[in-house]
Amino acid sequence: MNKTIFDFTIASIDGGKINFADYRGKKILIVNTASECGFTYQYAQLQELFEHYSEELMVIGLPSNDFGGQEPGSNAEIEEFCNVRYGVTFPLSAKISILKNPHPLIEWLQKQSSENNTPIEIRWNFHKFLFDENGNFLEAFNSATDPADGLILKYII
């Protein structure tokens, strides 16, 4: 049987767990994040999406320091930055690895968005993966695609 996003759990930034099965029935937007990136402003748009479409969408951030060393802080520092600067209330995972010894969720995400059986390479912070209500992969979006872009919104609204 093929896995869906609902088969995964990941450590949360506050020491708990994020169980993707808890979000069955909602679309899920997963974003690898960083606090010192040129795309960090996207936290505000992600929070707006999370608030505006809370009935049908779950946003989950995956902080990583793998691209340009742009997430150097501890989990507590990342959580505080996101809360104070952007009012983030959507779930954040504990800091994860994407490039070297990638987290199993990352490996699976890249395979879901593969072209010609070649996994999509996450090239920078704020790469996005969107899943439907049944946990099936819909589409991946690169860093330059803002969360409020019509390419993403067409799946949500």
Residue spans of the domains in the chain: they are: 5-156
Which residue in the list 18, 37, 96, 122 is annotated as catalytic? Answer: 37
Read off the pLDDT band of 120 (50, 70, 90).
Answer: confident
Query: d(Cα 40, Cα 21) in Å, to the nearest integer?
Result: 27
In this model, does residue 116 exceed pLDDT 70?
no
Q: Is residue 82 annotated as part of the catalytic site, yes or no?
A: no
Q: What is the average pLDDT value for the chain, to the nearest integer?
A: 93
In this model, does residue 41 exceed pLDDT 90?
yes
Whole-number percent of the chain with pLDDT over 90:
82
Mean of the pLDDT values across residues 131-139? 93
Query: CATH topology for 5-156?
Result: Glutaredoxin (3.40.30)
Compute CA distances 91 → 60, 74, 98, whole Å: 5, 16, 18
Nearest partner of 101 among 141, 143, 66, 63, judged by Cα = 66
Residue 3 is predicted with a pLDDT of 84
